[in-house]
Structure 1
Amino acid sequence: LGVIGGNGWLAGALLRPAIVEGVISPARLVISSRSGTGGLESWPAVRHLTDNEILADEADIVMVSVRPAQLAEIELDLDDRLLISVMAGVDTDHLADRFGTERIIRAMPNACAEQRLSFTPWYATDDATDEDIDFAERLFSASGTPHAVTEETELDYFTALTGGGPAFPALFADSMIRHAIEAGVDPETADTAVRQLFLGAAMLMAESPDTPADIVETFMEYRGTTAAGLSAMLDSDVTGAVFDGLSAAHRKARDGG
């Protein structure tokens, strides 16, 4: 496996769990980057290069993990090898034209990959083999939950919905922390309280058979303090704000990131 942009945070977040789980052998991993090691110092057998052409010559599988704007700097002929892309907004037609291969898997992991909690939707072209798909499943399973999609356009939506990882929940959490501080809670306590709240809420929703809507309705039925807060948020159209934000992110992803 050769990884272009292997020193980046996303590549490292995917590779470290994959090495630990035995999906990738360090001795068979080559990364190219302008600087750094991508947090792979614990595995000295990993090779580090600065030349993408040398990497491509030696790799059976090439993963591209760079910003979409940097793609113009990469010119390689992968000669029908498997290409895995974790770039937002770059479709398989563009990748095929640029790299000379139709064996392509596009995926959209997020920043929770390091904690092995990424939801990773992925799409495979018709030319991707069963072995290609098996490798991708094992690679992305090491860092979370992979999910195959049948239409490539679905990746644009998931880029908006889950691609940001903790970003949207973090915005809500920050608002709660700032409100607590304004109410007189010291900043450190406010931060600790809200982080623990979100951790507990995430685990509850992950393990509960109830849907998030069911959970909201349960608290509304109590007609207590939480119901008062929920009612005020709904009256302020918090749902509309969420819809507007996701729609804006979806448009950005659909227009090429």
Structure 2
Amino acid sequence: MHEATVVGIIGGQGWMGRSLGLSLLEQGILPPEQLIVSSRSVNAEVYRDWPEVRCVRDNHGLVERSDIIVLSVRPQDLASLDIAVGDKLVVSLLAMTSCQALAQQIGSRRLVRAMPNAAAEIRRAYFPWFATPEVGGADRRFVQALLESCGMAREVSAERDLDYLTALSGAGPAYPALLAQSLLDHARQNGIADDMAREAVMQTLVGGCLLLERLETDPGEMVERLIAYDGTTAKGLQTMIDEGMERVVHRGLEAAYAAARAPGKA
């Protein structure tokens, strides 16, 4: 990373700002004296193990003292951010907010848009990010190190790709949670005790995903292999496919993608 670079996180005590700030400190990527965080209500307990971290309420002071600013606020709060950052590098974690909209609001054209998900809290996030042409090579390397402190980071070449990945990976645990809820409800309806149903569902989903990750195989190949085996799982899979599971998932992703491309709409 840049030597002696000061990072300021606006919203540094919210769930994402906190996850990013703590991971930078825990991994030694940034010394505590080079981190400033702001929030509406300062809670020093979040950074109690790093007393050198400066926790402030004043965003103007944070911007003035920082070399790189991370925006970790809700998209609807952007309009109320009365800051002028000059030509400093800004990393935005806001959904539904284009680089053009960011530049109009804060002034800088050295912009990076990144889309985290909730798994950042356990350092397993997927962080796609997009940079404007004004962001140089050294800044891009800094951003990569900054974001992958919370998991995996990957630069995309087009802003529309980031919008799509906002709908896909930005959902974090939402889609697995929906599947888990459906499986759990069905198990309960069939008389399985709640604690056992929950164990079975969570171990099936978590264990299955970890196995897919380790095998590094195409998920479609796994589905085809299990259907070809023609056992109980094959009957369940084929019925879900025939009933249009793929169509429903695609429609959901299209709806989320449309929202990601529509500033100001949820």
Match of 1:238 in 2: 245
User: Which of 41, 46, 55 pairs up with 2:53?
Assistant: 46
Q: Structure 2 CA distance, aligned partners of 1:18 and 1:194?
A: 33
For 1:34, give the aligned amino acid: R
Match of 1:88 in 2: 95
- Alpha-carbon displacement from aligned partner over 1:94-137 (angstroms, at most 9, x marks no partner): 11121111111110011111221111100111111222111110
Q: Are positions 1:198 and 2:205 aligned together?
A: yes
Could you say what secondary structure the match of 1:119 adopts?
Answer: strand
User: Which of 77, 89, 96 pairs up with 2:84?
Assistant: 77
For 1:25, give the aligned amino acid: P
Match of 1:153 in 2: 160
User: Which of 178, 183, 188 pairs up with 2:185?
Assistant: 178
Could you say what secondary structure the match of 2:29 adopts?
Answer: coil
For 2:40, give the aligned amino acid: R
User: Which of 13, 18, 40 pairs up with 1:12?
Assistant: 18
Matched residues, percent identical? Answer: 39
> Are the aligned partners of 1:13 and 1:111 in contact in 2 as well (CA < 8 Å)?
no
After the TM superposition, which residues 217-228 of structure 1 pair with which residues of structure 2 at under 5 Å, given as runs?
A: 217-228=224-235
Structure 1 position 36, deviation (Å): 4.2
User: Which of 5, 12, 27 pairs up with 1:21?
Assistant: 27
Could you say what secondary structure the match of 1:42 adopts?
Answer: coil
Count of residue pairs brought into register by the alignment:
257
Could you say what secondary structure the match of 1:162 adopts?
Answer: helix
> TM-score if structure 1 supplies the norm length?
0.97
For 1:149, give the aligned amino acid: V
Q: Structure 2 CA distance, aligned partners of 1:42 and 1:195?
A: 33
For 1:169, give the aligned amino acid: P
Could you say what secondary structure the match of 1:163 adopts?
Answer: helix
User: Which of 121, 130, 146 pairs up with 1:114?
Assistant: 121
Name stretches of at least 5 consecutive residues in structure 2 with no aligned partner.
Answer: 1-6
Q: Structure 2 CA distance, aligned partners of 1:243 and 1:210?
A: 22
For 1:50, give the aligned amino acid: R
After the TM superposition, which residues 210-221 of structure 1 pair with which residues of structure 2 at under 5 Å, given as runs?
A: 210-221=217-228
For 1:20, give the aligned amino acid: E
- Alpha-carbon displacement from aligned partner over 1:53-81 (angstroms, at most 9, x marks no partner): 01111111111000000111101111101
For 2:99, give the aligned amino acid: T
Name stretches of at least 5 consecutive residues in structure 1 with no aligned partner.
Answer: none
